[in-house]
Amino acid sequence: MKKREVIRKNFKALGTDIAVQLVCAESSRNDAEKKLNELQEFYLSAQKIFSRFDPESELNKFNQNLGEFNIASEHFLAVARKILDYYKLSKGVFDPRVIAVLEQIGYAKDFNQMELFLPTASELDILGIKFSNLEDDLVIQDETILFNQRMDFAGIAKGYVTDVAGEMLRQAGWKNFLLDSGGDMLAIGKDADLDAWRIDIEGISQERILLILQDEAVATSGIGKRKWQRGEKRFHHLIDPKNPHKFSFDLQSVTVIAKTVTETDFWAKMLFLKGKEDGKKFSSENKLKSIFLDYRGNAWISGEMKKVLNHDLAD
């Protein structure tokens, strides 16, 4: 049997750490390294499309030209269409217009610089923000898009980019790899030991729960890293457009397994925003593979997720 090895590539893009593991034969090392360099370039090009912190990004060009139809790139169009679909599916819980709330509560710059941009007390009044039908503010005609309000596509952009990166690897003939875009993961095939990929969950020890993935995606949505405080008021970056003034802290994170990273990104955020009890109920009714982690360290595992976990680890 030919010896298999893992070629790794780590870099920063889309405001997070990207880690790629590509399984290959020794004779394919050069091809693998070349492909990973191409993958890095793709991630960096995607950052120029979707970053709300880059004034020259495609997203910001649309945000700066409200009320006008403009030609959109292939990837921007694809994400815009998915956002409209997910808005309908979530009945308005998933909404890219929450950028207005994020900026008012201080998240107007890259999170690592946020301490310089915390809002004053007068800027914390977000009760007046209302969200009408998204289809009135995000309009797609052929290859053009119109924004009537400013948007942030970060809700699923990272997951979408990861899916496209995975498809690039598949089309190039690679069958075994792991893409990790800041916790949004796509696990294809097997690792170098011919085992399914083993993934742990942030905040939960491997002794309790360890995910075993093959040809699946996983994403975690949570507030462990992006939360802050101003006086007695606490904030985080996951905004419920139906209650933009309310910041729930009953959950630490929600993890979801599905076929694509875009799906997992959406479901994890939507379940988190629904809250602990409503989210668990929705997950069970819709047969989602999910894990809810609260701030006491308690993990609730959906029935569908239990089917794919090692029972000794899940109990």
Separation of CA 119 from chain center: 26
**pLDDT over threshold 60, residue 119:** no
Taking only the tens place, the pLDDT of each residue in 230-256 is 555 555 455 665 665 665 667 778 899
Taking only the tens place, the pLDDT of each residue in 145-179 is 999 988 999 889 999 999 999 999 999 999 999 99
**pLDDT over threshold 50, residue 63:** yes
Amino acid at 301: I
Strand ranges inside the chain, DSSP E: 4-13, 16-25, 69-71, 138-141, 144-147, 177-181, 184-188, 197-199, 211-213, 216-222, 227-230, 233-236, 251-258, 289-294, 299-301
Lowest mean pLDDT among 71-85, 123-137, 261-275: 123-137
Q: pLDDT band at 124, cuts 50/70/90?
A: very low
Count Cβ atoms within 10 A of the Cβ of residue 246 and give its class: 0-12 exposed, 13-18 middle, 19 or more buried: exposed
pLDDT confidence of residue 203: 65
Widest CA span in the chain: 68
Chain position carrying tokens 């599916």: 89
What tokens does 210 get? Answer: 């360890």
pLDDT confidence of residue 121: 43
pLDDT confidence of residue 53: 82
**32-40 own/partner pairs: CB under 8 Å, 24+ apart:** 32/7, 32/174, 33/7, 33/9, 35/169, 35/172, 35/174, 36/7, 36/9, 37/9, 38/168, 39/9, 39/165, 39/168, 39/169, 40/9, 40/11, 40/13
Chain position carrying tokens 């993958």: 39
pLDDT confidence of residue 245: 62
β-strand partners of 90: none
What tokens does 199 get? Answer: 């993934």
Strand, helix or coil at 213?
A: strand
Q: pLDDT band at 224, cuts 50/70/90?
A: low
Q: pLDDT band at 297, cuts 50/70/90?
A: confident
Short-list 171, 165, 126, 134, CA closest to 150 = 134
**pLDDT over threshold 70, residue 80:** yes
What average pLDDT does the chain have?
A: 83
pLDDT confidence of residue 8: 96
β-strand partners of 217: 186, 258
State the number of CA atoms in the 13 A half-sphere of 180 facing the CB: 18
Q: pLDDT band at 220, cuts 50/70/90?
A: confident
Strand, helix or coil at 239?
A: coil
**pLDDT over threshold 60, residue 118:** no
**pLDDT over threshold 60, residue 126:** no
**pLDDT over threshold 90, residue 11:** yes
pLDDT confidence of residue 135: 94
Q: pLDDT band at 1, cuts 50/70/90?
A: very low
**pLDDT over threshold 60, residue 116:** no
Q: pLDDT band at 275, cuts 50/70/90?
A: confident
Better-scored residue on pLDDT, 292 or 104: 292
Average pLDDT over residues 90-107: 74
Chain position carrying tokens 């750490």: 17
